[in-house]
Structure 1
C-alpha cells in the first residue's frame, strides 16, 4: 500500500511538472519583410487593413519630423512636416497619432488634438489645458487612444509609457491617466497610483524613479487595458465609468524589483547611473482572445558597462532583453517569447505584429520592418 501511494504521488508530481513546464502554446513566425523608402528613422503607429496603409513619421533630424502615410510594402504615399506655427501645424511635440473612424488622421500633442486628412491638410483642432505638459523628441510615441466615437471625441491626454509626473508631484497622490472629456471640455484624472498594489506602501514625497502609465484600448469593445512600467497586474477598465472589469495577474521571469510587494526603493538597485531594473513597455491587444505584455529585463551594472565598451546598442533597445508574455482569456500562458531581429511596434490583424528591425549589421538603402505572426505549436 505504501509503495502504491508513493507511485501515485510521484505520478501526480510528474503530471504537475509536465503541465507547468510544458512547451509554449504559441511562437512567433516571420511572414513578411517591408522596405520603407527612407534612410532616416521611421516610426509606424497605426494600420488601416481596409486600405492596406500605415500611418507614422519620418525623423529627418535637423530637418524636422514629417508625418507620413505608407502603403503595405513601405512606399511613402505622402509626408509633411507639421510641427510649427503655420495654420496647418501643431504647436508642441506630438505624443500620439492614429487613423480616425472616418479614415482621416488624428495627431495629439500635450496641448491640442488636430485632425488631418491623409494629405495632412488640417480639418479641425481642439485646444485644451493639461495639468502636465509632456515633451518628446522624434515623432509620436504611440497610437492615439480615443475613448469615444463621433465628431466630438474624448481621449487620453498623456501618452502611453510617458511620464506625466511633475517635479512637485507626490507619488501617492498621483493619478495615472488624464483624459479630455469632450462633453464638459475639461481635463479629468483617474486611476490613482495608490490604487495599484505594487505602490501601496509608497509614502515618500520624492520617489527615485519615474512611473509611466501603459495602456491600450480594444477597438472592438472599447475596454481599456492598463498597467504601469513597474507593475505585476494588467487591469481592464470600462472607460465610460472607469469601473474595473477584470484584473489579470502577471508573473515575470526577470523582474527583481517586484520580488517584494509593496515596492521598496531597495528593490530598484539604484546607483548614480541610469536605472538598470526591469520595466514593462507595451500592452499588445490581438484580434482574438490573446493579450500580450512586452517588458525589458534587467541588466547588471557590470554587463551594461561591458556592452558600452564593446559599442553595443543601448540595452533597452536590444531585442535580446525584450520579453513577450502572452495571456489567453485572462490567464497567463507558460514561457516568454522573443523576436531576435527587432522590436515590436504594434499589433496587426490575424494575430500579427509589426517589428522594427534593429539587429541589422549591413548598410541598407531602405528602413527595414518585418511582420511576424503568432502561431500555435
Structure 2
C-alpha cells in the first residue's frame, strides 16, 4: 500500500514540476501533510487560525453524514450526526458550514441557519422560507459565507459553484445570481442580475447551451465579496452591504476554446440534457495579501471523456491534470498559469497557503490525505 502511494506521489510531483506553460513568477511549495483516519469520504470546509482547527464532515454513507472538528494534524476532535428529527438536528441536507466570528460553527441548509458549539450542541437557529430548496447527497458543499458580522448575520443562501435552481420557464435576463437572507428585514433578497455580467451579451448560438453557475468568496479582512460565474471572463468585487461595485478584474483563460465566443446572448444560456465538457471556472482564492487566484478546469473532447470512462479513470473535472490556477496581483492578471498542486484545492489558509485534497484511487487506504501548499515567489 505504501509503495503504491509513493509511486502516485512521485508521478503527481513529476507532472507538476514538468508543467511549463509560460513564465510565472510564483509557484506552490508543499508545507505539510494532514491525514484524517477514515475509510469514507472526508471534507474540510473552514479553518480557525486562532484555535488551529478545521471544521468539516465525514460521509459514513449508509450511516449518514457526521459533522466534525479536526486538529491541525487531521485528528478528529469531535464528530456528531446532526441531520435528523431531534430538537438539535436539521432535517434537510447541509449546504455550507464554517466558523462563526465567536469561534462556534455555522451550518446552513436550504431552510435554516444553525449555530453549534465545537461539540455540535445547538446554540441557536434561524428558520426562513426559501424560494426553492437544494439537496446535497454528501456533506456540506462549501464554506459558509456571512455578509455581515455578529451573532445574527446576513448570508448567501446558496453554496459557491452550485447550480442555482431554475425552471423550464427560466429567463436569464431576469435571473439574479445571488440570493441571500437579510438579517435586518428577516427576509430573502437577491442581487447580481445575470444580464449585468459582461459575459451575457455577445454572439448568439442556439446550439450551444451554457450554464452560468455563481462562484464567490469573501475577503474575511474587509468583507468584500468576490464574484464570478462558471463561464465568466470577469471577477467583480462587491460591497455586499449596498451591492456597489468596488472593482472589476478582467480574466483571460488560456484554455477556454469552447467559450471563445463569450460574451454570450440569452439563447446560449439554457438547459441541456448532455453533461457539459467545456472549460469552466470553479473557485476563487482570496489570499491574505494583494494576491487573488481563480481556478478553472480545462475542457475535454467527447472522445477523450468516453475513453476515460471506459478505462475507469477519475472523472475529468476531479483530475488535477485538468485544473489551472490563474493569479492576479493588485487586480491585474499575472502571465502564465499554474497546475493545481498534487490534488484539488479546497480553500485558502493564512500566509498565502492553500489546503489541497489529494486525489487517490486506492480504495484500501484507511485515511484521507490533505496537504498544505504555500504560494511563494520563485
Report the TM-score when normalising by structure 1: 0.90
Question: Which stretch of structure 1 is more off in the superposition, 68-77 or 209-218?
Answer: 209-218
1:349 counterpart residue number: 350
Q: Which runs of 5+ in 2 are unaligned?
A: 1-20
Q: Which runs of 5+ in 1 are unaligned?
A: 1-20
1:233 counterpart residue number: 234
Give the whole-Å Cα distance in 1 for the aligned partners of 2:61 and 2:275.
Answer: 25
- Structure possessing the higher radius of gyration over alpha carbons: 1
1:148 counterpart residue number: 148
Give the whole-Å Cα distance in 2 for the aligned partners of 1:264 and 1:244.
Answer: 23
2:315 counterpart residue number: 314
Deviation at 1:219, TM superposition (A): 0.5
1:260-301 CA-partner distances (Å, limit 9, x unpaired): 132269989x98642100111110000100000011110001
User: Is 1:56–2:56 an aligned residue pair?
Assistant: yes
Deviation at 1:224, TM superposition (A): 0.3
1:262 counterpart residue number: 263
2:336 counterpart residue number: 335
Give the whole-Å Cα distance in 2 for the aligned partners of 1:36 and 1:122.
Answer: 25
1:80 counterpart residue number: 80
Preserved CA contact (<8 Å) 2:67 2:82 = yes
1:104-163 CA-partner distances (Å, limit 9, x unpaired): 000011100000001000000001111221111101111100011112211111111111
Give SS of 1:183's match.
coil
Question: Which stretch of structure 1 is more off in the superposition, 259-268 or 57-66?
Answer: 259-268
Give the whole-Å Cα distance in 2 for the aligned partners of 1:266 and 1:147.
Answer: 33
2:162 counterpart residue number: 162
Give SS of 1:199's match.
coil
1:12 counterpart residue number: none
1:285-340 CA-partner distances (Å, limit 9, x unpaired): 00100000011110001111111111111000000001110000000011111135
Change (3 A) 1:148 1:57: same
Preserved CA contact (<8 Å) 1:45 1:142 = yes
Task: Please report the RMSD computed on the Cα atoms of aligned residues, expressed in angstroms.
Answer: 2.2
1:218 counterpart residue number: 219
Deviation at 1:360, TM superposition (A): 5.2
Change (3 A) 1:180 1:266: closer
Change (3 A) 1:348 1:59: same
Preserved CA contact (<8 Å) 2:211 2:231 = no
Change (3 A) 1:44 1:249: same
2:243 counterpart residue number: 242
User: Is 1:128–2:128 an aligned residue pair?
Assistant: yes
Give the whole-Å Cα distance in 1 for the aligned partners of 2:336 and 2:206.
Answer: 37
Give the whole-Å Cα distance in 2 for the aligned partners of 1:271 and 1:287.
Answer: 39
Question: Which stretch of structure 1 is more off in the superposition, 223-232 or 207-216?
Answer: 207-216
Give the whole-Å Cα distance in 1 for the aligned partners of 2:321 and 2:364.
Answer: 21
Deviation at 1:197, TM superposition (A): 1.3
